[in-house]
Structure 1
């Protein structure tokens, strides 16, 4: 490992057993493969289930990938037009899986705010909750998760946004709070601690939202930040990354 990245990602145990519950009515099948690849960063998808009315043609795209990715289809008929029976089925099943034990966390795949209370309930039981949905996902559901990933960043490689764009305007105060909260007496903050703070403060934070694969790449592109690398003292090839606000030079 050549640098220490976001603690929220690297401190997760890849052996954690996760239940992946997909609201197929509310999630595109086109990102199914990328979704499972992303989930593998946080643990092992021991339970893989997709919920919907599989008798309708609406879910044809999901049917094409279910067996390929070993995802179990969970049938739920739509008894009433305009009522989402899929949500209720997923929530009930999630509670059954939760109480059966043996899992370390859940991955809830939907952009629907109806799963906000479910995410809260799972976290109250001491398990991790990873949310996956589109950028239109309501903020309450995002906030209820330990980590939330926008599926748009899983589709294609993102290009870095210009620093003057709104996303970066929002980024600077977030970054300042994270750096200040973790700064040592000399002003330097460990990048791993900064990354952890950012995710705890905003579960949807991800450097890929800004067009960068790694947090270290993102901070190096911020003109107001200074970055340094310090070799590990244990004889390994590891490098510790630190960041701080640039010191203004008095004229």
Structure 2
């Protein structure tokens, strides 16, 4: 799974005013950055505004690595200054840093519609983020994906405890982070997640994460221990000989063999189909039937080859 390189550009006045206008409380940069880190590696993050007016946000922006581009007001004549500065920087980055694959625009302003369209012409993926009440349909329709701040706020309410700390202190917190990260990745790319990509996603959100602090020698050992709690399922990846991870499904995974980690993705797919049909693959009758049908098929093929050989003679 290829890792995306992100550039995040924030029209701060628009997004901050939008959250206040919609009575969503103070703009939560932590929540936004955590969601974007699930999408890829953030290389550039810039916020544009008059920081004399938004001084109360400066500390939280610094904590999350946001560069604040100062656009001081001059006699109130600051209309569109932030928009122009953001667009100029976006185009410069698009042409000079080819390794950036995705641009994230935090704004709902329709003035950024031409920028989104031009970035797409340059083969860049464009993600928009803004509030429902302050987002122009022109902009949202021009992006490859648009995330509404209200949806992030809704999803984050169940995860508030884990977002307050930069490093999980207990094994329970580490498990919660693991599950949340898998769910976040699968929002964009449904299906099993590779172990390597999952570890990268966790490290982007929690750079000091170390499974050794919870008594495990490596990340795979940590995952195998979590699998026993019936929260995740490990699947063998036939391409890399490593593992992939999926969320535990009680209606399918409750009757699995202990050897599930050695099961390939193709075998797991067939396994799931049998479970859905209420056929337990581990029962004596099912094993007998499968072996019997296999033998009959092989014998039939061999007999067919023999007869075809005789006819040719």
Q: Which has the higher contact order (CA 8 A, sep 6+)?
A: 1
- Following superposition, which runs of at least 4 residues in structure 1 exceed 4 angstroms of deviation? 237-241
What is the Cα deviation at residue 30 of structure 1?
Answer: 2.3
- Asked if 1:95 is matched to 2:91, the reply is yes
Please tell me whether the aligned partners of residues 108 and 129 of structure 1 are also in contact (alpha carbons under 8 angstroms): yes
1:23 match: 11
Counterparts of residues 33-182 of structure 1 (less than 5 Å): 33-54=30-51, 56=52, 58-79=53-74, 80-81=76-77, 83-101=79-97, 102-136=99-133, 137-157=135-155
Contact 1:17–1:44 (CA under 8 A) maintained in structure 2:
yes
Aligned to 1:244: none
Alpha-carbon separation, structure 1, partners of 2:155 and 2:146: 18
Shift of 1:52: 0.8
| Cα RMSD after superposing both structures | 3.1
Structure 2: any 5+ residue segments left out of the alignment?
17-25, 158-186, 191-250, 253-263, 274-313
SS of aligned partner of 2:8: strand
Moved more, 93-102 or 20-29: 20-29
Q: Secondary structure at the match of 1:149?
A: strand
**Alignment partners' CA distance in 2, 1:22 and 1:239:** 47
Residues 152/238 of structure 1: CA separation in 2 closer, same or farther (3 Å cut): farther
SS across alignment from 1:98: helix
CA distance in 2, matches of 1:155, 1:103: 27
CA distance in 2, matches of 1:68, 1:240: 45
C-alpha distance in structure 2 between counterparts of 1:131 and 1:72, whole Å: 19
* Equivalent of residue 235 in structure 1, options 251, 264, 267: 267
> Which protein is richer in helix relative to its size?
2
Displacement of 1:41: 2.3
Q: CA offsets per residue over residues 59-93 of structure 1, 9 Å max, x none?
A: 12321212100110111233453612111110011
Report SS of the residue matched to 1:30.
Answer: coil
Whole-angstrom distance in 2 between the partners of 1:61 and 1:125: 36
| Offset of residue 53 of structure 1 | 1.5
Unaligned 5+ residue runs, structure 1? 1-10, 160-191, 196-227, 242-251
Per the alignment, do residues 76 and 239 of structure 1 end up closer, same or farther by CA in structure 2, a change over 3 Å counting? Answer: farther
Residue pair 1:52, 1:75 contacting (<8 A) in 2 also: yes
Q: Which residue of 1 aligns with 2:23?
A: none
Over 3 Å counting, the alpha-carbon distance change for 1:238 and 1:152 in structure 2 is farther
What is the CA distance between 1:45 and its match in structure 2? 1.0
TM-score (norm 2): 0.46
Question: 2:31, 2:156 within 8 Å by CA — same for their partners in 1?
Answer: no
**d(CA) in 1 for partners of 2:66, 2:72:** 19
Equivalent pairs counted in the alignment come to 161
Which SS does the other structure have where 2:48 is aligned? strand
